[in-house]
Amino acid sequence: MIKIKKYRSVKGIFPGMEVRDGAGVRLRRYIGTPYLNYLDPFPLLDEFKSDNPNDYIAGFPPHPHRGFQTLTYMINGEFEHWDSTGSKGTLISGGLQWMNAGSGVIHSEMPKMKNGLLWGFQLWLNSPAKEKMSDPFYHNFKAVELSENDIKINLLAGEFMSLKQVNLAYYKFLYIDVRLIAGKDFEFELPDKTTCFCVVSEGLIEFPGNIKIEEGNLAVLSDDGNAIKFNALKDSVILIGCAPALNEPIARWGPFVMNTKEEIYQAIEDYQTGRLVKKKAADI
């Protein structure tokens, strides 16, 4: 039986917002803004990209997290990671770090470089209620590369075509970095009923129906459909993430993502009283 493709449409287009975070790091925030506060199951998506050391040199000094995961993707540059349980390491160009904050971590992320281009993304993945107090862990790995017909794909998480990559989320998750030259089409199949976003970090792309997504914008795709298709109108860099929605209550405050306000208050109290870190983060 021939499977008929139904392409997902663009449900909304949201601009990235220039913000400062950490000790003054300049970021472009796509999720976690007044325009797009939460895209279930993604609470936050930041892009850091600058060749001016003043935009990143102060880094992210020690700060707490609880209740979710982070996936940091370093396209260019180096970041040094440290946490209060003794885990440490360096994230280099082409590398990724998956962190499960779980029951609680206190960590820092500081640029190891003093000049040059620093470029990457950090995506937060909400954890299901039953996993919010799970044991913390870290995992460092590299992107899986695929190049074909002037299309370059970096598989960051999940499965794509015949390629398999790490997936430490508590649900199915696909995360890819796609590089297209002007005039190239890109399409792939994916499961129905998943939340999907496309970020145009560089360039300009067009979805069916003459829907154009400019650089610095995020497109939220419709839930229905079993395929994605777009065309590059300029040389483009596109970040795509897809995962099923949790459909659970969410309560968030700064570095904590929980299900209720009471759990947020408890996280704040635990941090203030030195009880946030309950277990050493494993390096897996």
Rounded to 5°, the CA angle 117-122-124 comes to 175
Rounded CA separation 160/276 (Å): 37
- Region of residue 209 (phi > 0: left; psi between -120 and 50: alpha; otherwise: beta): left
CATH number at residue 29: 2.60.120.10
Strand order across the 204-207 sheet: 185-189, 227-232, 204-207, 211-214
pLDDT score at 112: 84
Look up residue 30 and give its two tokens.
């796509």
CB environment 148-173: b (16+ within 10 A), e (fewer) = eeeeebbbbbbebeeeebbbbbbbeb
Look up residue 146 and give its two tokens.
């695929």
Is residue 134 included in any domain, yes or no?
A: yes
Beta-bridge mates of residue 154: 145, 177
Range of the domain at 76: 10-283
What average pLDDT values come out for the chain (284 residues) when binned by 10 residues? 79 96 88 98 96 86 95 95 81 95 93 87 99 94 92 96 94 98 94 93 97 99 94 98 98 97 98 89 67
Contact 86, 130 (CB under 8 A): no
Rounded CA separation 203/235 (Å): 5
Is residue 3 included in any domain, yes or no?
A: no
Look up residue 174 and give its two tokens.
């696909």
State the DSSP string of 213-227: EETTEEEEEPSS-SE
pLDDT score at 191: 78
Strand order across the 10-15 sheet: 10-15, 217-221, 195-202, 236-243, 174-180, 151-157, 144-148
pLDDT score at 238: 99
139 has binding-site annotation? no
pLDDT score at 157: 98
pLDDT score at 52: 86
* Structural domains in the chain (count): 1
Look up residue 205 and give its two tokens.
């792309």
81 has binding-site annotation? no
Q: Is the peptide bond before 41 cis (omega within 30 degrees of 0)?
A: yes
Is residue 5 included in any domain, yes or no?
A: no
What's the CA dihedral at 233, 143, 131, 224 to 10 degrees? 30
